[in-house]
């Protein structure tokens, strides 16, 4: 049975994000790269089976609608997570790492869905395509170890400095490379990001203990 979730986002859902997680302000290291799977990690659907092109952006990029009028959007916290990470004094690299069989469709969604340019939503905020918040995209079928290898080669970031969020246990095999894997069951949230960073610190002895 397909997974179901109601945690997609809209402009109205985006509340002010004044309480940045403590891991971003406690003075301890954070990963140099945050990598994210797409399906059931950043958005609550499989792009290659649930989405029927063509797609059209709606509500200023808060969602995208396909040929049959079905709406597709990020999980609720994703937009402010991306905006917050890129607003940090020393922002980490952000990357996508997806094995979808429809990479062009995934890229179209990333272009149509938008993210605020600040981690809060004042009346005067501007929005940019979500795709522009990511420094690297590795979207193709195959083992996620290949995705991580290409990300490391293209950016010079060591495997040990990558934190990878994914909803499938089988992709934990990236840990054989030295990447920290964090399993998310119902999409990326602020709580999952914080727990992931703490696990990365524990694995790399950077938790100050």
* Residue 132 in domain: yes
pTM greater than 0.85 (yes/no):
yes
pLDDT tens across 93-132, in order? 999 999 999 999 999 999 999 998 877 656 567 899 999 9
pLDDT at 55 over 80: yes
Range of the domain at 174: 34-44+75-203
Distance in angstroms (rounded) separating the CA atoms of residues 80 and 115: 7
Distance in angstroms (rounded) separating the CA atoms of residues 205 and 209: 8
Paired with 163 in beta bridges are 34, 180
Q: List active site positions.
A: 37, 39
Domain count, the chain: 1
CATH of the domain at 126: 3.40.50.1000
pLDDT tens across 121-146, in order? 565 678 999 999 999 999 999 999 99
* Residue 53 in domain: no
pLDDT tens across 151-165, in order? 999 999 999 999 999
* Residue 17 in domain: no
Residue-averaged pLDDT of the chain: 90
Distance in angstroms (rounded) separating the CA atoms of residues 163 and 16: 26
């Amino acid at each position: 049975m397909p997974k179901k979730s109601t945690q997609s986002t809209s402009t109205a859902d985006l509340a002010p994000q004044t309480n940045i997680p403590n891991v971003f302000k406690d003075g301890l290291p954070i990963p140099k790269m945050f990598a994210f799977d797409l399906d059931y990690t950043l958005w609550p659907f499989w792009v290659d089976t649930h989405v029927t092109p063509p797609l059209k952006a709606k509500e200023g990029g808060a969602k995208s609608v396909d040929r049959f009028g079905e709406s597709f959007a990020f999980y609720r916290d994703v937009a402010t997570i991306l905006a917050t990470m890129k607003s940090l004094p020393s922002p980490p690299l952000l990357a996508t790492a997806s094995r979808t069989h429809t990479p062009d469709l995934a890229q179209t969604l990333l272009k149509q869905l938008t993210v605020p340019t600040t981690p809060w939503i004042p009346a005067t905020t501007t929005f940019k395509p979500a795709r522009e918040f990511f420094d690297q995209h590795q979207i193709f079928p195959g083992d996620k170890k290949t995705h991580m290898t290409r990300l490391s080669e293209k950016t010079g970031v060591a495997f040990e400095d990558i934190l990878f969020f994914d909803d499938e246990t089988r992709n934990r095999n990236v840990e054989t490379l030295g990447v920290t894997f964090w399993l998310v069951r119902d999409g990326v949230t602020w709580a999952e990001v914080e727990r992931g960073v703490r696990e990365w610190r524990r694995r790399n002895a950077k938790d100050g203990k």
